[in-house]
């Protein structure tokens, strides 16, 4: 999943793709580099970021989505506002990726009314303005798992097919550095919820904390390492800024996994497709 920030204030690339023209060029470039999904967002959710008014978010996102749906790739929209969800789904967007896990009034109903859109539910402690000022305490893994299960159940209750749902534990959203890495180390425990996992480690501050790399844009190598580790622990989707580098690293990982699988085949038996 390649990240397309249509914002002037994203933590790592704010302003670089803020116009419709530059955002679309970035979409095309990410697809050339091997992105499977484009994730378009019109509001920064970095710690301490202010909320963006509805009309401003619509003005940023709608023109980009209107053109991006012509690229013949799945389009995800990073938003928590039901009005934005409905607008982009009407334009042909495929996925709603919500940091609030559809907890804003009307959000569940907006996606439930759509017959087939994908839904990503993310765990966030508190809100973007306060989440890192007072992060979670204790063992985050069972708490995150319980929350995600509860939010998925609320969608089941509205008649949403379980196959439409993906879960994101919310790395960096109200967790300490140690808690974020606990989510990575024990990521397989989250598979117990029964849904695919989406992981977003790209250029996060926790990576900066353990590497000493202060500039977000310089955290490419450790971000790629985190994406590969997440994939190895069962992530179905990795959300990244640096698509080309991540795709190349995942190709190496897949080649290694294929060899591991072939070694497990009984001698004389053809490998399973």
Which residues carry out catalysis? 204, 239
Dihedral over Cα of 240, 55, 166, 183: its sign:
positive
How deeply is 119 buried, as exposed, middle or buried, from its count of CB atoms within 10 A (0-12, 13-18, 19+)? buried
User: Phi and psi of 86, rounded to 5°?
Assistant: -65, -40
Q: What is the 3-state secondary structure (H, E, C) of 145-182?
A: HHHHHHHHHHHHHCCCCHHHEEEECCCCCCCCHHHHHH
Dihedral over Cα of 5, 8, 14, 18: its sign:
positive
The distance from CA 229 to its chain's CA centroid, rounded to whole angstroms, is 15
CA distance 155 to 23: 32
The residue count of the chain comes to 273
CA distance 173 to 97: 14
Query: Within a 10 A sphere around the Cβ of 133, how many other Cβ atoms?
Result: 10
Provide the H-helix boundaries in the chain: 20-32, 54-68, 82-91, 107-112, 140-157, 177-185, 205-211, 220-232, 243-264
Residues 6+ apart with CB under 8 A from 91: 62, 65, 66, 69
CA distance 6 to 91: 17
């Amino acid at each position: 999943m390649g990240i397309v920030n249509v914002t002037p204030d994203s933590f790592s690339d704010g302003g670089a793709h803020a116009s419709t023209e530059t955002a679309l060029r970035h979409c095309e470039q990410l697809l050339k580099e091997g992105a499977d999904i484009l994730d378009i967002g019109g509001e920064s959710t970095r710690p301490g970021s202010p909320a963006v008014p509805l009309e401003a978010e619509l003005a940023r996102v709608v023109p980009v989505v209107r053109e991006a749906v012509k690229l013949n790739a799945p389009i995800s929209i990073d938003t928590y506002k039901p009005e934005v969800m409905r607008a982009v789904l009407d334009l042909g967007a495929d996925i709603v990726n919500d940091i609030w896990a559809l907890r804003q009034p009307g959000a569940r109903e907006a996606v439930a009314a759509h017959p087939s859109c994908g839904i990503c539910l993310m765990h966030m402690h508190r809100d973007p303005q306060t989440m890192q000022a007072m992060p979670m305490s204790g063992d985050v893994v069972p708490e995150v798992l319980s929350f995600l299960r509860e939010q998925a159940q609320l969608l089941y209750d509205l008649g949403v097919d379980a196959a439409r749902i993906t879960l994101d534990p919310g790395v960096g959203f109200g967790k300490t550095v140690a808690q974020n890495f606990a989510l990575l180390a024990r990521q397989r425990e989250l598979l117990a919820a029964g849904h695919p996992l989406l992981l977003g480690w790209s250029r996060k501050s926790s990576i900066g904390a353990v590497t000493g790399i202060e500039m977000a844009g310089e955290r490419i190598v450790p971000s790629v390492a985190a994406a590969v580790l997440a994939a190895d622990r069962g992530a179905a989707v990795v959300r990244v800024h640096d698509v080309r580098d991540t795709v190349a690293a995942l190709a190496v990982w897949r080649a290694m996994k294929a060899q591991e699988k072939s070694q497990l085949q009984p001698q004389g038996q053809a490998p399973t497709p």
